[in-house]
């Protein structure tokens, strides 16, 4: 019984340490702009997009390293994407084409 509990505790500790190691990068959308124009991140980390504008945004990327479409979301809402592969991501808003962000994803 002790051995089974010990193994489960070690496994749970490992999973918690892995999830704690993955960083979140918050990108705010305000005044029809991203809070940063470019950034670096690592595979496994998360981009969190937070809309602080009084209108909707639709964040997407058609980049060959990873494409995604987070759909339309309004003021106060957040959407996120986990970075799965290294490479350059060009991120845009489908509603406001002047909104652009470049993410260099590294191992």
Domain hosting 78: range is 23-106
Q: What whole-number distance in Å separates Cα of residue 50 and Cα of residue 26?
A: 7
Between 77 and 10, the more confident residue is: 77
Between 14 and 39, the more confident residue is: 39
> How many domains does one find in the chain?
1
Question: Per the domain annotation, does 9 fall within a domain?
Answer: no
**Predicted TM-score (pTM) above 0.85:** no
Predicted pLDDT at 94:
97
CATH of the domain at 73: 2.60.40.420
- Parallel, antiparallel, or unpaired for β 38-42 and 100-106? parallel
């Amino acid at each position: 019984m002790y051995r089974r509990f010990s193994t489960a505790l070690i496994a749970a500790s490992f999973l918690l340490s892995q999830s704690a190691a993955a960083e979140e990068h918050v990108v705010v959308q305000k005044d029809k702009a991203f809070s940063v124009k470019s950034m670096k991140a690592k595979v496994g980390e998360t981009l969190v997009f937070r809309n602080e504008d009084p209108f909707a945004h639709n964040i997407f990327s058609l980049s060959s390293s990873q494409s995604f479409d987070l759909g339309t979301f309004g003021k106060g809402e957040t959407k996120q994407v986990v970075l799965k592969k290294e490479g350059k991501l060009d991120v845009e808003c489908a509603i406001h084409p002047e909104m652009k962000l470049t993410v260099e994803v590294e191992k």
